[in-house]
Amino acid sequence: SYELTQPPSVSVSPGQTARITCSGDALPKKYAYWYQQKSGQAPVLVIYEDNKRPSGIPERFSGSSSGTMATLTISGAQVEDEADYYCYSPDSTGNHWVFGGGTKLTVL
């Protein structure tokens, strides 16, 4: 079955740039999406179609994708950005949806 691979954790100091990667064989042909999930809350979409930001998401969140890897970048990470981040993408058939294993971002 199709898998998306993320690092389990990323740690940065406030104001630094955090980068979270997601690798998957179908990413050259499928968009990547990113969700932020704070403790005890439902996931929130922060990036769609590789690099687009929904309304209300701060400009410090950006996304990119190249080959089999997508990247979520948080420029000038803030303490309130501490959360689990999940990438998401369909498999090559487009019929099944897959989440990455999640990355815990620590900002301290």
Partner 1 sequence: QITLKESGPTLVKPTQTLTLTCTFSGFSLSTNGVGVGWIRQPPGKALEWLAFLYWNDDKRYSPSLNRRLTITKDTSKMQVVLTMTNVDPVDTATYYCAHAKLNGNWYFDLWGRGSLVTVSS
Give the residue, chosen from 1, 59, 67, 108, that forms a contact with partner 1 under the rule CB under 8 A.
1
d(CA 33, CA 22): 10
Site for partner 1 in 42-101 (CB under 8 A): 42-45, 48-49, 54, 86, 88-90, 94-101
Q: Which is nearer to partner 1, 55 or 59 (CB)?
A: 55
What the block records as the tokens of 107 is 């900002």
- Least distance to partner 1, CB of residue 76, Å: 25
Q: Are 20 and 72 in contact (CB under 8 A)?
A: yes
Q: Are 22 and 28 in contact (CB under 8 A)?
A: no
Q: Which of 36, 38, 10 is nearest to 107 (CA)?
A: 10
38 lies in the site for partner 1, by CB under 8 A? no
d(CA 86, CA 62): 14
Q: Which is nearer to partner 1, 77 or 88 (CB)?
A: 88
Residues at the interface with partner 1 (CB under 8 A): 1, 30-31, 33, 35, 37, 41-45, 48-49, 54, 86, 88-90, 94-102
